[in-house]
Homo-oligomer: A and B are copies of this chain.
Amino acid sequence: MNKNLLFTFICLLVLNFSVQAQEALFGAQPITSPEIHDDSSVTFRLSAPNAKSVQITGDFLPTVKIETPRGTFDGPGKAELTKDDKGVWTYKSEPLKPELYGYSFIVDGFSTTDPSNPFLIRDVASVTNILIVGKGQADLYRTNDIAHGSVTRRWYDSPGLGMDRRITIYTPPGYEKSTEKLPVLYLLHGAGGDEEAWIALGRTAQIMDNLIAEGKVKPMIVVMPNGNVIQDGAPGEGSMGFYKPQFMVAKTMDGTYEGSFQDIIAFVESNYRVQADKAHRAIAGLSMGGYHSLHISRYYPNTFDYVGLFSAAIMAREDATGKVYSNFDQTLKAQMDNGYKLYWIAIGKTDFLYDANKEYRAKLDSMGMKYTYVESEGGHIWRNWRVYLSQFAPLLFN
C-alpha cells in the first residue's frame, strides 16, 4: 500500500461492520425478500424467530369477501408463511401476472412492512411494500433504458386560495432543449391523495416515458396539483409538517378547488412552453379527481378538449353548496355545445361507484352528450388507474 497516497488504511471490514450494526439496530435483515423467480412466482421471506404465526396480505392474492359491521367488502386475501429451523418464514406465490403489486406481513396479528424490502408506497396514511413482476403492462411501470422526462416539485402562487402551493410537473424528454410548444394534461388525484400520488402510486413518469418512447403518446406536460385546498403541500412536504394524512379533509368537494383551478392553468401557461388553447388541454382524475375533472371541465365549459373520468366519485355531497355546482345541467350542455374531442369514462365492474357512473352515463345519453366508455375488471384500486392512464394518454392531442 502506498502510504503517501493516502493516510489511513481503514479496511472495508470497518464499513461493513458499521452497516451491519446499523442493520441490526434498524431492522434490515440479511435475507432476500421478495425474490422474483423466472416463472414470475415470488418468494417472500421474513426473519421472526419468536413469532407464532406470520401471514402475508397483498393484491396478488385472490380477493376475498371481508365481513364488517358496515357491510361486505372485497379485499386482498391472506396466506400463511412457513417457518424454518432458523426462524425464517417463507411463502411462495403462484406465477403472477405482470403487475405492480403491494403487500404487507402480519406477524402474530400485527400488520407490518417487510424489513427486507425498502420499496414502499404511502396511500393516504398506510404504507405498504411494492414489487413489480413480469413484462407487458408491468414494463410500463419500470424505468427502462430510454429517454426520460424530468419531474419537478415546484411551488405556484394561488391567489384564489391565498397561498403558495406545491405542485408536481412532468416534462417530457428533451423539453428543456426544445423550442416546441407542448400540450398539457392536468392529472388529478383522489381523496387522501396529494401532489405525490400520481408520481408515486400512479408511476406517471415511467408510464409517460415508456409510451412516448414507443411513439404511442405525444410528448406532453403532465401537471399533478394538490386537490386538498386546505393544504399547501403533501403531508411532510408542506407547512403543516409531518402529520397523519386523512382520507377526506375539509373543503375537498365543496367547489373551492374547482373554482380556483384557473390559478393552476395560469401558472402553467405562464411558466411552461405550452400551447395555451382548448385543443391542447386535457384534464383527468381518479375518484375524487374524476369528480373534480367533471366539474372543472363543465364549470369552464370551453377550456378542455379532452376529459377523463377514472372511477369518478360522482356523488352529491351535502357540503357541495358552492357556486361551482349550481347550473349543473346548463353548464354541462354548454360544454357539449362548445364541442370537445374526447370525454372518456372508465370504471371497474366491482367498483363501489359503478352505479353512480352508470347513472351519469344515462344522463349523458339522455342529453346526447357523447363519451367513450371503458369497463374493466376490479374495483376502486390503483392497479386500474395506472391502466386507465396508459389507455387514456395515447388518445390525447392526436
Q: Could you tell me which A residues sit within 8 Å of B by CB distance?
A: 1-2, 4-10, 12-28, 32, 48-51, 57, 66, 68, 70-71, 73, 75-76, 102, 104, 107-113, 115-120, 122-128, 130-132, 142-145, 147-148, 150-155, 163-164, 166, 176-177, 191-192, 232-233, 235-239, 241-242, 244-245, 247-248, 271, 313-318, 320, 325, 328-329, 352-353, 355-356, 359-360, 363, 380
Contacts and interface: CB of A to CB of B under 8 A. Distances in A.
14 contacts: A5-B325, A8-B316, A8-B360, A15-B248, A16-B247, A18-B380, A22-B124, A23-B126, A25-B75, A25-B104, A26-B57, A117-B242, A145-B163, A147-B164
Contact of A107 (B110, B232, B238, B314): B110
Contact of A143 (B22, B50, B233): B233
A218 to B, nearest CB: 20
B107 A239 contact: no
B68 A124 contact: no
A329 B4 CA distance: 8
A25 B191 contact: no
Q: How many copies make up the complex?
A: 2
A12 B328 contact: no
A380 to B, nearest CB: 7
A316 B5 contact: yes
Nearest to A131: B242
A239 to B, nearest CB: 5
Contacts of A17: 68, 70-71, 73
Contact of A151 (B66, B125, B152, B176): B152
Given A6-B316, A12-B248, A126-B23, A153 B151 contact: yes
Contact of A66 (B21, B57, B147): B21
B119 A242 contact: yes
A111 B26 contact: yes
A313 B248 CA distance: 47
A345 B143 CA distance: 38
Given A26-B126, A66-B21, A128-B26, A315 B147 contact: no
Given A25-B75, A131-B242, A320 B6 contact: yes
A328 B5 contact: yes
Given A12-B248, A19-B124, A363-B7, A316 B2 contact: yes
Contact of A241 (B73, B120, B143, B232): B143
A358 B128 CA distance: 44
A59 to B, nearest CB: 10
B152 A150 contact: yes
Interface centre among A12, A27, A150 (most CB of B within 10 A): A27
Contacts of A8: 314-316, 355-356, 359-360
A68 B192 contact: no
Nearest to A288: B15
Contacts of A242: 117, 119, 130-132
Contacts of A238: 143
A193 to B, nearest CB: 12
Contacts of A6: 314-316, 320, 325, 328
